[in-house]
Amino acid sequence: MPRAIRLYVDGDACPVKDEIYVVATRYGLPVSLVANARMHVPEGFGVELVVVDAGPDAADDWIAERVAPGDVVVTADIPLAARCLAAGGRVLGTNGRPFTEDSIGGALATRSLKEHLRETGIHTGGPRAISDKDRSRFLSKLDELVQKSLREG
């Protein structure tokens, strides 16, 4: 029997938790919501809240150490996305754009460039607010990734 897939959520600033719960419930998938602080988790949705130490990469490390091929990770953190892809996971950004082997190199390079610009005092702006279109795209792409993992599992 194939291993059941799991959804991992980098939960501290995740704006699409409700959408994740909808998809997880639809497919009966367990969810690990990983955060540095306690937060409300609805009962009856198969969501496990994992509270990790407050270190800068504690949640990322917890997820990266557990993700397995076919699991789906939701994060806006590009280095975490790269680690999860390397472990065989599927990764979806909170804006509904998937991270892939083909796109992760460019995403890491852009992140590095922006970090360098910030260090030199140039304001690069933060991420834009999530729109209804982003939420819709996220929901559709998450469903698509889960279906793909279930088929290939």
Query: Which residue has tokens 């799991």?
Result: 6
**119-131: per-residue pLDDT in tens?**
677 776 666 788 9
Contacts of 85 (CB under 8 A, 6+ apart): 91, 99, 100, 101, 104
For residues 35 and 104, what is the distance between their CA atoms, to the nearest angstrom?
23
Mean residue pLDDT of the chain comes to 86
Give yes or no for residue 1 having a pLDDT over 50: no
Query: 111 or 81: whose pLDDT is higher?
Result: 81
Give yes or no for residue 23 having a pLDDT over 90: yes
What domains can you pick out in the chain, each with its CATH number?
7-152 (3.40.50)
Q: Are 32 and 48 in contact (CB under 8 A)?
A: yes
36 in the Ramachandran plot: left (φ > 0), alpha (ψ -120 to 50) or beta? Answer: alpha
Joined tokens for residue 119? 């260090």
Of 26-30, 106-110, 116-120, the one with minimum mean pLDDT is 106-110
